[in-house]
Amino acid sequence: MAKDSQVCVVMVPFLAQGHLGQLLHLSHLISSYNIPVHYVSTATHIHQTTSRNQGWELQSFENIHIHEFPIQPSHSPPPDPKAPTKFPFHLEPALETSVHLCEPVFKLLTSLSATAGRLIIIHDNLMSYVVQDFDSLPNAETYSFQNSSVFFYFSHYWNLTGRHIAADDQILQQLPGVEGCFSSELFAFAEKQKVHVRKISGHLYNTSRSIEGYYFDLLQELQLSKKQWAIGPFNPVEICKKPDDKRHKCLEWLDSQTSNSVIFVSFGTTTSLTNKQAHALAVGLEKSCQKFIWVLRDADRVDIFTGEVRKPELPEGYEDRILKANQGMIVRDWAPQLEILAHTFTGGFMSHCGWNSCLESITMGVPIAAWPMHSDQPRNAALITKVLQSGTIVKDWDERNDLVESLIIENAVKKLMASREGDEMRKRAAQFSDAIKKSVAEGGVSHIELDSFVAHITR
d(CA 369, CA 250): 21
156 is catalytic: no
H or E segment to which residue 228 belongs = strand 227-230
- Residue 315 DSSP label: S
Out of 28, 123, 124, 300, pick the active-site residue. Answer: 124
Nearest to 266 by CA among 18, 93, 49: 18
CB 398 within 8 A of CB 406: no
H or E segment to which residue 59 belongs = none
Question: Could you tell me the CA-to-CA distances from 111 to 13, 23, 106, 204 in Å, in that order?
Answer: 19, 22, 9, 25
CB 364 within 8 A of CB 171: no
d(CA 376, CA 399): 16
d(CA 77, CA 457): 40
Q: What is the CA radius of gyration of the chain?
A: 22
124 is catalytic: yes
Question: Burial level of 173, CB count in 10 A (0-12/13-18/19+)?
Answer: exposed
CB 140 within 8 A of CB 209: no
Active site residues: 19, 124
